[in-house]
């Protein structure tokens, strides 16, 4: 057998007490030479645990309880740990998500690659250095980067260096665990291209682990490539990407496509996937997806579905697929083509879409863009951070994080600010909120300038704009109860409310964002990421703002949760006539939600126009590059 084959892999983790978790429960797949298999799934589906089990790097308390992993005829689970050390990083290599932490900060690139060369190929000295240089060239880095230290490299370069290190052992199969999640979209495109090239030039198998449907599609365009969709520790669908993306067969996969925000779904409500992933220690009598499945029927709850081949090469773990595989068996028929929605692809947007996304003025009338008074007007805003050096900390220069930005957001309008990391978009948001003092320029909120406002006046102004942060884990104080978190802003900004009034309003808000009312008495850690983001939104809404600054509000969330949050944001916009300043790097979300888009780079706005214009007729090259870099376009 060529490449890597995994049979009936089961992983168990001992939890507190006698609890046993089964994050991976019977997974089979093969990765041949020059083949890419994408393991696709949301967080908690067991995809990373599968990879760690293959590498025999399971965390404390985890062990493989069943299954066999074969690499080129060698049973990996039968190897002694010393022999496994030779395989790991050699014949079977893995790259991780976080290029920041997977390189040793005090060793130069050459030293780190040299270590791998010495361990797996016995090279040392000048030979090793020459080989390291060749590897760097193979991953698209200059050889003069050999003596660089990780901090001297950008995120993309670091990921390249890491890949070079992993290539040192000439792996037969490379496992890439979310290799581009931490990277900007243009860099992501480059790294994905690099992986594709390396795969075909070296005849390497590639196991790509990702949560991103587009990345999975981008990487599995070849005829041999497969996508495996994982859910609750099992592979629920296995298919070549052409088949999968044209006609997903498992209801879960269909839902995943349906919840994706896209330009062409503007104004529509996104489909939602109710419920949540079953706990890893749940016991199943029937189908694992039954609780959330829109097509569930009696048999699903009592009988575990088999893995049926719907069309040649396309398997799905669903009772309906059995019917589809043998139409004669089924009273239900199979899947009609009509049931399958949301097949992505780049769709030209017809302008003047749905009325729901036309700006709505506070008095309910639909108004034309431009005649609306601006909620937020930014003109020539600049934020410069001084660079201080020496004993006396003299200022020797400035970092121009935001360098003369002018923008306006009308009432009820959503303006998206798009840009790659380091372009200054977050600094801009903080300067607007006066969390950072701007160096120059003015910010006018509802016609009134914020500059020079102090004390009480500034506080009253703050009630009109609020912010929702990216990371729902660090944006809520872990030691305050949710009720107190919601009431804090009210206590500061709505002094007319007394304690009881605040508690009522908090209960109201929780209801509005779709959380149970008893949430007020609990602590943030008891909630999932999506629920926490709802709490953060409720907190921002607590003081009746007119403008909400959303700083990457969904980028830390799974796609199904992201859809719920986006729906919530759309609802709130409609109900309260809120204006959004939506900061994001995710173009499909922007395309779905935004009325107008501003493209930012190196502290300046390069282009600003309606969403339709930016996406279909970008005026500048940089915007075009951003759009073209988005993965998954066919």
Partner 1 sequence: MSFKPVLLWSDALILLLLAVVAAGVWLLRHNETFRAPLRQVLASRMGSATALILAVYVGIGLLDSLHYVERLPDEPGKAAQYSGEVKSALDKLLSPLRENVEKTYSAPFATHLYAKETMTGPDGREVRDYPRLKHGGAHLADPDQEFWPDVLKRGGLGVLGGMVCWTLLILPLWQRGRTHSALAWTLLCILVVTGLLVALAPHYHVLGTDKVGQDVLYLSLKSVRTGLLIGTLTTLVVLPLAIGLGIAAGYFGGRVDDVIQYLYTTLNSIPGVLLIAAAVLVVQVQIEAHPELFDTAAARADMRLLALCGILGLTGWTGLARLLRAETLKLRELEFVQAARAFGVSRMRILARHLLPNVMHLVLITVVIDFSGLVLAEAVLSYVGVGVDPAMISFGNMINGARLELAREPVVWWQLVAAFLFMFVLVLAANLFADQVRDALDPKARGRA
Q: Binding residues for partner 1, per CB under 8 A?
A: 16, 430, 433, 435, 458-459, 462-463, 465-467, 469-471, 474-481, 488-489, 492-493, 523-526, 536, 539-540, 543
Select the span of 293-301, 432-440, 532-540, 561-569 touching ligand SF4 (CB under 6 A). 293-301
What torsion do the CA atoms of 401, 586, 206, 5 make, to the nearest 10 degrees?
A: 130
Residue 257 or 469 with smaller CB distance to partner 1 = 469
Residue 296 found at the interface with ligand SF4 (CB under 6 A): yes
Cα 339 from Cα 550, distance rounded (Å):
34
- Both structure tokens of 73: 């005829």
Backbone dihedral angles phi then psi of residue 181, each to the nearest 5 degrees: -65, -35
Among 295, 340, 353, 497, binds ligand SF4 (CB under 6 A): 295
Of the candidates 4, 187, 260, 290, which one interacts with ligand SF4 according to CB under 6 A?
290
We find the least distance from the C-beta atom of residue 259 to ligand SF4, in angstroms, to be 16
Separation between Cα atoms, residue 448 and residue 442, nearest integer Å: 10
Q: Does 69 bind ligand SF4 (CB under 6 A)?
A: no
320 binds, among partner 1, ligand SF4, none (CB under 5 to 8 A by kind): ligand SF4
Closest CA to 555 of 461, 413, 387, 426: 426
**Per-residue three-class SS string for 116-128:** HHHHHHCCCHHHH
Closer by beta carbon to ligand SF4, 303 or else 369: 303
Q: Are strands 173-177 and 92-95 parallel, antiparallel or unpaired?
A: parallel
- In the complex with ligand SF4, which residue's Cβ is closer, 245 or 289? 289
CB of 19 to partner 1, least distance (A): 12
Binding at 493: pick from ligand SF4, partner 1, none (beta carbon under 5-8 Å per type): partner 1
d(CA 409, CA 508): 28
Q: Judged by CB, which is closer to partner 1: 430, or 505?
A: 430
* Strands (DSSP E) found in 329-478: 374-389, 394-410, 414-418, 440-445, 448-449, 465-468
Q: Which of 289, 315, 527, 580 binds ligand SF4 (CB under 6 A)?
A: 289
Whole-number minimum distance, CB 542 to partner 1, in Å? Answer: 9
The verdict on 293 binding ligand SF4 (CB under 6 A) reads: yes
The site string for ligand SF4 over 202-241 (x = CB under 6 A, - otherwise) reads ----------------------------------------
**41: contact with ligand SF4 by CB under 6 A:** no
Nearer to partner 1, 395 or 477 (CB): 477
Shortest distance in whole angstroms from residue 582 CB to ligand SF4: 34
Residues contacting residue 352 through CB under 8 Å, at least 6 positions apart: none
Cβ proximity to partner 1: between 378 and 606 the closer is 378
Nearest-approach distance from CB 255 to ligand SF4, in angstroms:
10
Structure tokens given for 396: 């020797």
For 622-631, give one letter per residue: b (16+ CB within 10 A) or e: bbeebbebbb
Name the residue nearer to ligand SF4 (CB basis): 151 or 332. 332
Taking the complex as a whole, the smallest distance from the CB of residue 45 to ligand SF4 amounts, in Å, to: 15
Collect all residues with Cβ–Cβ distance below 8 Å to 537 and sequence separation of at least 6.
468, 513, 553, 565, 568, 569, 572
Helix H segments across 318-454? 319-325, 425-432
Query: What one-character-per-residue DSSP string does 201-266 give?
Result: HHT-EEEEEES-HHHHHHHT-STT-EEEEEETTEEEEEE-HHHHHHS--SHHHHHHHHT---GGGT
Residue with tokens 């790991």: 88
Please identify which residue in 320, 411, 486, 559 interacts with ligand SF4, judged by CB under 6 A: 320
- Tokens 């601006």 -> residue: 374
Tell whether residue 248 is a contact of ligand SF4 (CB under 6 A).
Answer: no
Report in angstroms how near the CB of residue 237 gets to partner 1 at its nearest: 36
Q: Which residues bind ligand SF4 (CB under 6 A)?
A: 251, 287, 289-290, 293, 295-296, 300, 305, 318-320
């Amino acid at each position: 057998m060529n490449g890597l084959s995994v049979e009936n892999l089961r992983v168990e983790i001992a939890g507190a007490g006698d609890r046993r978790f089964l994050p991976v429960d019977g997974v089979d797949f093969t990765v041949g030479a020059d083949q890419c298999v994408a393991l696709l799934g949301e967080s908690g589906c067991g995809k990373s645990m599968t990879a760690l089990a293959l590498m025999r790097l399971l965390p404390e308390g985890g062990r493989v309880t069943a299954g066999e992993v074969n690499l080129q005829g060698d049973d990996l689970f039968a190897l002694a740990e010393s022999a496994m050390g030779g395989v790991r990083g050699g014949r079977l290599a893995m790259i991780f998500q976080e290029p920041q932490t997977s390189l040793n900060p005090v060793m130069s690139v050459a030293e780190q690659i040299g270590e791998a060369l010495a361990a797996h190929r016995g090279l040392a000295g000048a030979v090793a250095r020459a080989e390291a240089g060749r590897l760097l060239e193979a991953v698209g880095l200059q050889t003069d980067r050999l003596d660089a230290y990780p901090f001297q490299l950008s995120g993309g370069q670091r990921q390249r260096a890491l890949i070079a290190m992993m290539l040192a052992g000439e792996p037969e199969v490379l496992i890439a665990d979310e290799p581009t999640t931490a990277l900007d979209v243009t860099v992501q495109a480059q790294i994905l291209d690099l992986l594709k090239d390396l795969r075909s030039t070296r005849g390497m198998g590639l196991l790509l682990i990702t949560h991103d449907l587009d990345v999975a599609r981008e990487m599995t365009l070849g005829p041999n490539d497969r996508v495996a969709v994982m859910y609750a520790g099992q592979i629920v669908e296995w298919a070549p990407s052409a088949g999968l993306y044209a006609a997903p067969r498992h209801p879960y996969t269909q839902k995943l496509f349906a919840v994706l925000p896209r330009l062409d779904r503007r104004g529509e409500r996104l489909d939602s996937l109710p419920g949540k992933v079953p706990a890893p220690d749940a016991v199943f009598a029937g189908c694992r997806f039954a609780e959330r499945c829109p097509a569930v029927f009696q048999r699903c709850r009592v009988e575990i579905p088999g893995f049926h081949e719907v069309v040649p090469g396309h398997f799905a773990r669903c009772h309906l697929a059995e019917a589809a595989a043998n139409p004669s068996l089924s009273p239900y028929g199979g899947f009609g083509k009509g049931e399958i929605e949301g097949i992505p692809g780049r769709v030209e947007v017809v302008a003047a879409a749905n009325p729901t996304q036309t700006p709505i003025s506070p008095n309910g009338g639909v108004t034309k863009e431009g005649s609306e008074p601006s909620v937020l007007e930014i003109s020539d805003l600049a934020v410069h951070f001084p660079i201080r050096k020496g004993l006396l900390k003299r200022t020797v220069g400035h970092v121009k994080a935001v360098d003369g930005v002018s923008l306006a957001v009308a009432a009820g309008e959503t303006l998206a600010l798009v840009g790659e990391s380091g372009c200054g978009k977050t600094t801009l948001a903080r300067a607007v909120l006066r969390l950072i003092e701007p160096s120059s320029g003015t910010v006018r909120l509802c016609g009134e300038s914020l500059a020079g406002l102090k004390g009480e006046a500034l506080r009253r102004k703050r009630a009109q704009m609020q912010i929702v942060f990216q990371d729902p884990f660090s944006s809520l104080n872990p030691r305050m109860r949710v009720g107190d978190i919601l009431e804090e802003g009210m206590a500061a900004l709505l002094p007319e409310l007394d304690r009881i009034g605040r508690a009522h309003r908090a209960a109201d808000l929780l209801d509005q964002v779709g959380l149970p009312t008893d949430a007020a008495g609990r602590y943030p850690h008891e909630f999932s990421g999506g629920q926490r983001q709802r709490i953060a939104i409720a907190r921002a809404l607590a003081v009746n703002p007119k403008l909400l600054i959303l700083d990457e509000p969904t980028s830390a969330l799974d796609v199904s949760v992201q859809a719920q949050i986006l729906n919530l944001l759309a609802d709130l916009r409609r109900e309260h006539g809120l204006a959004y300043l939506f900061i994001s790097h995710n173009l499909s979300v922007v395309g779905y939600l935004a009325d107008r888009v501003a493209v930012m780079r190196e502290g300046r706005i390069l282009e600003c126009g309606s969403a339709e214009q930016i996406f279909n007729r970008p005026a500048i090259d940089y915007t075009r590059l951003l759009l073209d870099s988005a993965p998954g376009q066919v």
